[in-house]
Structure 1
Amino acid sequence: MIPLCIPKMSGNEWKYVKECFDTNWVSSVGKYVDMFEEKFAQYVEAKNAVVTMNGTSALELALRTLGIGEGDEVIVSSMTFISPVNTIKYVGAEPVFVDVCRDTWVMDVDKIEEMITSKTKVILPVHIYGHPVDMDKVMTIAKKHNLYVIEDATEALGSEYRSKKVGMVGDIGCFSFNGNKIITTGAGGMLVTNNEEWGKRAKYLSTQTKTVLENGAFYHEEVGYNFRMPNVLAAMGVAQLENIEEYVEAKREHGKLYNELLKNAKGIKTSAEKEYAKNCFWLYSILVEDDYCVSRDKVIEKLKENGIQSRPFFQPVHLMPPYKKCRHGDMTVTEEISAKGINLPSSVDLSGDEIELICSLIRR
């Protein structure tokens, strides 16, 4: 089986994790927690980084840090993993869905303003499968309407928007280190921001709003959250981050090869990379158009028969039971590409021969 996307362990993971075990620093306090935050902040060029248990908790933490809650609305795309939408509900706010672009599959920024009301507080662009949203337009709209911008960069570590790391264009950026991401800690996430006040607030909220008194007792002035990553996982993150440039370059080379081998395949729409973007190609993806010889699901079935794992695009969230009553605009493109999209194998260690095999089957 050629898997969809598995991690690569090629550096100091065992060494750093073993040190945690040897010294008994395995919980949410330890040198690797601080080190991971510092080194990650350096990589994305952020002033503040707060490590979390997963990307979902990073997104929830971002919303809570900005004071988003009951009665507020957050604009988000429907063609996404459900995590950012769920976190909007976690804090008591309401998601408002906008359509996506047909070429990049990310939020259609030209559809944002028509959905803004007096209740709108945040725009939450999702850099789906690694391609950045057109952030210049997002930031212009946000400034015009006095809105916050939280970037969901959980699938886009290493991607860039106009030579700036994604997650660092908006007010707050959020990342994921799940097992299938470019770097992994098994489970984990990170919140980044250049706003010192928000950085301190996020760390305070993520650690149960704990203040240590002179006698060592804990004091809590408000409700807090246990979002901190254990030291043993942070150790893994530090090791993985040491190889991030190599991993991103490998992903990009895979994307280029896929594009080259599939560019003339009738009925296949390949992944895009706009002039403003550097796409990390977290998951290399295609659309199976109507003029292809078989259906999207038949392609998935045939790939599986040949030992190749693939996955359909995320289903539109606005069509799912918890969110059917939420406001949304025309979602024609979202519903179309969701029905046509496939994620192809995208592991860092994927070989050129494996990509050629996959593409030959699709061309056939």
Structure 2
Amino acid sequence: MIRLMKPYLRYEDMEQDFREVFESGIFTRGRNVEAFSAEFAEYVGAKHAFFATSATTALWVCLRLLKISPGDEVAVSDFSFPATANVVEDVGAHPVFIDVDLATFNMRPDDLEAKINERTKAVIFVDALGNPTGLHQIKAICERRGIPLIEDAACAIGSMEAGQKCGAIADLTCFSFHPRKLLSTGEGGAITTRRDDWAEWLRVKLAHGAKGTQGLGLDFVDYGYNFRLPELQAIMGRKQLTRMDEVIDRRSAVRASYIEHLMPLGFIPQDVGRDVRYNVQSLVFRVPETVDRDALVHSLKDFEVEATLGTYCLSGTTYFRHRYADVQPTALHLDARTITLPCYEGVPVDIVAERIASSIKTIRA
């Protein structure tokens, strides 16, 4: 079976570090977590980096930092995994779904402008499938309106626009370390920011509300949370971080081969801006109008090829459709017409693209 994705992890790279952790007995708040935080911030170009248990908890913490509460509105990209809107719902605010561009799959600036009002307290821009195209446009709108910008960069480690990496552009940026991501620690996430005051809030809140003292124990100056990343997971992250640029270059080559083989069959790749470096987190195409996407995904299984949908139209899911009745048309179209195809290390580029293109030709014959 040609899988959608395999984590970029090699046990032999981590074995010695794992052994040292077991021998030391320090499984949390050790040197690897501290080093990973500094290395991650440096890699993405952020001033501060903090870890969480997932991108979901990272997003939730950011909403708490911004004091988002019932009665507030948060503008949300409508083509994403439901976690992006779930956190808004959880704090009692109203997610206002912003439709996306048919080509890039990212938030449309014109739709955002039309829906901002006095109740809009934050904007969550999603780098759809790792693609940050248009992020600076959205940032400019937020700066002009005085609205904080949260970047849901769950898929976007290593991606960049206009010479800046995701993690150094928005006011707050949230990453995921899920197994489907280019950098995986099993589960986990990160928050980056350039603001010192927000960094201090995060430092305290993510440590149970505690600060160190000159005496014994801690001084609990606020209530807080425990969303820590353990030492073993930090080792996993550190080892992969050193390979990120190499991994992205390889995935870009895979994407180019797919485009060469599938565009003649009518498949349309996700559009990426000229000033964008795309990490190819997920290799997604719009299928031709003559193709039944769901049937194609099922048929590819017979050829030992794993495939799935692109991602979700949030406003079209059962919960949000019934709650708000404001389904965005382009996001709904992409939900039904996009397909994710395999992209991972260990299989020659042309073999994957040629085999899958050949399978699609056979299925359509």
C-alpha distance in 2, partners of 1:56/1:31? 25
Partner residue in 1 for 2:79: 79
Q: 1:37-76 to 2 correspondence within 5 Å? A: 37-76=37-76
Q: Which AA in structure 2 matches 1:173? A: T
The corresponding residue for 1:360 is 358
User: Structure 1: any 5+ residue segments left out of the alignment?
Assistant: none
Measured after TM superposition, the shift of residue 138 of structure 1 is 0.8
Is the partner of 2:284 in helix, strand or coil? Answer: strand
Q: In the alignment, what sits opposite 1:239?
A: 239
Judged with a 3 Å threshold, the aligned counterparts in structure 2 of structure 1 residues 246 and 53 are, in CA distance, closer, same or farther, namely: same
- Correspondent of 2:311 among 311, 314, 319: 314
Q: Secondary structure at the match of 2:79?
A: coil
1:33/1:230 contact within 8 Å kept: yes
RMSD: 1.8
SS at structure 2 position matched to 1:264:
helix
**Structure 2 Cα separation of the partners of residues 77 and 173 of structure 1:** 14
Which whole-Å CA distance do the structure 1 matches of 2:135 and 2:340 have between them?
A: 24
Structure 1 residue 136, shift from structure 2 partner: 2.5
Distance 1:284 1:144 in 2: 34
Q: Which residue of 1 aligns with 2:113?
A: 113
In structure 2, do the counterparts of structure 1 residues 328 and 322 end up closer, same or farther at CA, with 3 Å as the change threshold? closer
Give the whole-Å Cα distance in 1 for the aligned partners of 2:112 and 2:146: 14
Kindly report which structure 2 residues correspond to 1:286-305, keeping only aligned pairs within 5 A, or say none.
Answer: 286-292=285-291, 295-305=292-302
In the TM superposition, what is the alpha-carbon distance from 1:326 to its structure 2 partner? 5.5
Using the size of structure 1 for normalisation, the TM-score is 0.94
Deviation at 1:333, TM superposition (A): 0.8
How far residue 114 of structure 1 moved from its aligned partner, in angstroms, is 1.1
The normalised TM-score by structure 2 is 0.93
Q: What secondary structure sits across from 2:285 in the alignment?
A: strand
Give the match for residue 348 of structure 2. Answer: 351
Note the 1:1-364 alignment, pairs <5 A: 1-10=1-10, 12-27=13-28, 29-266=29-266, 268-292=267-291, 295-324=292-321, 331-352=328-349, 353-364=351-362
Shift of 1:71: 2.0
* Change in 2 beyond 3 A, CA 1:46/1:315: closer
Q: What's the offset of the Cα at 1:83? A: 1.1
Distance 2:106 2:263 in 1: 21
Change (3 A) 1:328 1:142: farther
* Contact residue 174 and residue 191 of structure 2 kept, 8 A: yes
- What letter corresponds to residue 246 of structure 1 in structure 2? E
SS of match in other structure, 2:312: coil
Question: How far has the Cα of 1:214 moved from its partner?
Answer: 4.6
- The AA in structure 1 aligned to 2:354 is E
Q: Is the 8 A contact 1:48 1:199 kept in 2?
A: yes
How far apart in 1 are the matches of 2:188 and 2:288? 36
Higher mean C-alpha deviation, range 58-67 or range 92-101: 58-67
| Partners of 1:213 and 1:54 in 2: CA distance | 29
Q: Contact (CA 8 Å) 1:13, 1:240: kept in 2 or not?
A: no
**Residues of 2 paired with 1:69 and 1:315: CA distance?**
25
Following TM superposition, by how much is the alpha carbon of 1:89 offset from its aligned partner in structure 2, in angstroms? Answer: 2.0
After superposition, what is the alpha-carbon deviation per residue over 1:224-267, rounded to whole angstroms, capped at 9, x for unaligned?
1111111121111111111111111111111111111112113x
Q: Secondary structure at the match of 2:265?
A: coil
Compared with structure 1, are the counterparts of its residues 222 and 92 closer, same or farther at alpha carbon in structure 2 (3 Å cutoff)?
A: farther
Change (3 A) 1:288 1:133: same
Shift of 1:362: 2.1
Cα distance change, pair 119–325 in 1 and its aligned pair in 2 (3 A): farther
